[in-house]
A = this chain, B = another copy of it.
């Protein structure tokens, strides 16, 4: 009960603070962001000290190396956090943008104007840089933010939070605009997820388990980034040299991320010409190949791909391969097994390209380019808070604009409804 009271207090303060943000100018927000970045650099020692304590206890508990790697901060990573805040200060403020405006026959002027969403709850795992990134993005887009990071990173997150919050206070931003849940009590998340009267949006950032858990328990709208099961389809009319470069890049350039290719689809008429040389390059790069029956007749000795392979995000150097009868079969495979994230066709055929673009039901559909470009920075958004695999509100890379909603401002001269 005490915990719930405390959390309601945080959520209410966030809601109140958010409502006051429409009176804070872009200039002030940008000044605060720049000073936040500078403070991070100035207080580096403190952050590293607290991070050291987190690391020590994680090591004592024998938690996995990957978690330690994500948790660990150093000079370079702190500089990265500060650079992000500098960058965010330079981006256009999305708040106040007029999306549309029109005049009705009765003289009413209707303006559809971009406004902040309100109070946003971010639930994340062990990367401490999420703390400063989310504070920066939410502040710039005029939202209040409530942070709930992984317990293993609590000291690091608190250190970063305190440094940034102090700057917010110095500039007299509304109290409660930036808050952090500093208990490791696991009940806190489920309590927060029911506060739909005060919190407008939840963004879970982390593994599939976290996201499913949040979605299941939340009565607040959630924007999800599940997983990226991305495909490259090499069409019968593909330029095979281009296809090879794109496939290699999509799989190998950074295999541990959501926009890397997990399944390669090849049209049956080019499979014999394309696959052997492609497979040789993949093998040289250490990629394990798993194939459908036809693939395995062409590439002797590779493992069999099972139904499970088509729905697996390997996040590593494994690739499943399927030879398809037609473009239609490729599209069906992508829609049935994919995660609606990013998919590419390599082709020189105009109508095949257009069919693929229209019929593949994914956030990002490409012709003749690597799936690896699905990313807020690569799209030119200057920032990224996640990549939505949802269809509602935001789809694909999410940045400042996706952290806003709109309201209608209507200017009248005494109009009443007849």
Which of B223, B363, B416 is A370 in contact with, Cβ under 8 Å? Answer: B416
Chain B minimum-CB-distance residue to A405: B391
Which of B200, B246, B390, B417 is A416 in contact with, Cβ under 8 Å? Answer: B246
Q: Which residues of B have CB within 8 Å of A274?
A: none
A299 CB-CB contact with B under 8 Å: no
A196 and B239 CA atoms in complex are apart in Å by: 38
* Contact flags A102-136 to B (C-beta < 8 A → 1, else 0): 10100010100000011000000000000000000
A409 and B367 CA atoms in complex are apart in Å by: 8
A348 and B153 CA atoms in complex are apart in Å by: 54
Q: Which residues of B have CB within 8 Å of A337?
A: none
Q: Which residues of B have CB within 8 Å of A411?
A: 366-369
**Contact indicator B363/A408 (Cβ below 8 Å):** yes
A379 and B249 CA atoms in complex are apart in Å by: 49
Which of B248, B414, B415 is A373 in contact with, Cβ under 8 Å? Answer: B415
Q: 22 A-B residue contacts at CB 8 Å?
A: A22-B359, A108-B373, A110-B379, A200-B391, A201-B391, A201-B392, A253-B416, A253-B417, A254-B417, A362-B407, A363-B408, A365-B407, A365-B409, A366-B410, A366-B412, A367-B412, A369-B410, A370-B415, A370-B416, A373-B417, A395-B406, A395-B407
Given contacts A118-B361, A367-B410, whether A417 and B378 have CB atoms under 8 Å apart is yes
Q: Which residues of B have CB within 8 Å of A245?
A: 414, 416
Which of B201, B365, B370, B390 is A417 in contact with, Cβ under 8 Å? Answer: B370
- Which residues of A374-418 are within 8 A (CB) of B? 374, 378-380, 390-393, 395-396, 405-417
* Contact flags A67-107 to B (C-beta < 8 A → 1, else 0): 00000000000000000000000000000000000101000
Q: Which of A175-183, A185-193, A213-221 contacts its partner? A: A213-221
B-contacting residues of A (Cβ < 8 Å)? 19-20, 22-23, 102, 104, 108, 110, 117-118, 200-201, 215-216, 219, 221, 223, 239, 242, 245-246, 248-250, 253-254, 335, 357-359, 361-370, 372-374, 378-380, 390-393, 395-396, 405-417
Given contacts A118-B361, A335-B19, A408-B364, whether A108 and B369 have CB atoms under 8 Å apart is yes
Q: Binding site of A, secondary structure by majority: helix, strand, loop or mixed?
A: mixed
Quickly give the copy total for this chain: 2
Which of B117, B118, B358, B408 is A22 in contact with, Cβ under 8 Å? Answer: B358
A366 and B395 CA atoms in complex are apart in Å by: 31
Q: Which residues of B have CB within 8 Å of A417?
A: 249, 253-254, 370, 372-373, 378
CB A164 to nearest CB in B, in angstroms, measures 25
**Contact indicator A19/B407 (Cβ below 8 Å):** no
**Contact indicator B361/A19 (Cβ below 8 Å):** yes
**Contact indicator A407/B363 (Cβ below 8 Å):** yes
A239 and B413 CA atoms in complex are apart in Å by: 10
A327 and B201 CA atoms in complex are apart in Å by: 29
**Contact indicator B378/A405 (Cβ below 8 Å):** no
Q: Which residues of B have CB within 8 Å of A392?
A: 117, 200-201, 221, 223, 392-393, 405
